[in-house]
Amino acid sequence: MLSIKNLNKTYANGVKAINDVSLDIPNGMFGLLGPNGAGKSSLMRTIATLQDADSGSITFRGQDVASDKEGLRRQLGYLPQDFGVYPKVSAEKLLNHFAVLKGITARGERKEAVEALLHQTNLWEARKRALGGFSGGMRQRFGIAQALLGAPRLVIVDEPTAGLDPDERNRFLNLLAKIGENVVVILSTHIVEDVTDLCPRMAIIARGQVLLQGRPQEAIDTLHQRIWRRSVEPDALQHYQDHFNVLTTRLVAGKPQIRVYAEAQPDSGFTRHEADLEDVYFLQLRQAGGKMITARAAVAA
């Protein structure tokens, strides 16, 4: 169990990146969902002991992290949002170097660990290739391989699927799901779909504050029969945004399609639709402050 209590962090420029955050995170996949700039990376860096909190506490497996940072680091695997690699070095050689840095000094043990992780992340066939020639998904899989060195009990991945194509994204998320069977895995992301199917528990964060935490399906159930959808004329869109609780707008064949949260049918043009986690997400952001909402826009053929 990772336990975070009343955590706060304000930077020198006055930005309050973490605002009284409290979370209890058990073994398994935990989704930390929020828009860019919500404070997710600040929270991840603080958990990973890369920066100190101003106040509050973090305990992992009963140990206070602030008083034993090295103890946490020995159990931590971390894949930051911007994970750089040496482009001219092979995956096998660099992973072996990271293993030494993780304290795996015995040559036989290190060789066994590196080979096992290259197989686990499906990089064995590419182990001799320079990392500069890897695709985005392959680099992310290499990133999770280095994070898993030393059999960590806590794994943190920060925006790991941003920029990946659908196939690579699915492969990466399946890998995370397998890892999360026995350890704490925190998946920090702004992509709702990354959380919906994989994470038994989650939290939504914005402006450094936790807006909601719990099980995704339970959050979705709170919107039962309260989500409505209709197409509107482009010149009428602003009217609906001004007078209804519009959660998202999707452009379908050149015409706006809106999803609205309402207790009853807003007007005769609306039909009721099943709620999903994206509805929960945007409703939480709207309730926390409309300026944080960036409605999705997609073109359907």
Place 290 in a pLDDT band, splitting at 50, 70 and 90: low
Phi, psi of 159 (to 5 degrees): 50, 55
Place 301 in a pLDDT band, splitting at 50, 70 and 90: very low
**Mean pLDDT score of the chain:** 90
The token duo for 99 is: 């293993």
Please tell me which of 118-122, 189-193, 255-259 the model is most confident about, judged by mean pLDDT: 255-259
Phi, psi of 151 (to 5 degrees): 50, 65
Residue 295 in this model has a pLDDT that exceeds 80: no
Place 197 in a pLDDT band, splitting at 50, 70 and 90: confident
Rg (CA), the chain: 21
pLDDT at 292: 42
Listed residue (181, 182, 184, 187) closest to 169, CA to CA? 187
Percent helix / strand / coil, the chain, rounded to 5? 35, 30, 35
Q: Which long-range contacts (CB under 8 A, 24 or more apart) does 279-282 make?
A: 279/220, 279/223, 279/227, 279/247, 279/248, 280/204, 280/212, 280/216, 280/219, 280/220, 280/222, 280/223, 281/33, 281/192, 281/204, 282/247, 282/248
Place 159 in a pLDDT band, splitting at 50, 70 and 90: confident
Q: How far apart are CA 37 and CA 205, in angstroms?
A: 10
Least confident range of 39-43, 76-80, 121-125, 293-297: 293-297
The token duo for 136 is: 């985005």
- State the first-to-last Cα distance of the chain, in angstroms, to the nearest integer: 46
pLDDT at 293: 41
Average pLDDT over residues 154-166: 85
Structure-model confidence comparison of residues 121 and 65, the more confident one: 65
Place 50 in a pLDDT band, splitting at 50, 70 and 90: very high
Q: How far apart are CA 65 and CA 78, in angstroms?
A: 15
The tens digit of pLDDT for each residue in 224-239 reads 999 999 999 999 999 9
pLDDT at 167: 84
Q: Which helix (H) or strand (E) holds 28?
A: strand 28-33
In this prediction the pTM is 0.86
Angle in degrees, 0-180, between the axes of helices 136-147 and 107-120, rounded to the nearest 10: 140
Least confident range of 190-199, 241-250, 273-282: 190-199
pLDDT at 182: 84
User: Is-contact 95 118, C-beta < 8 A?
Assistant: yes
Residue 144 in this model has a pLDDT that exceeds 90: no
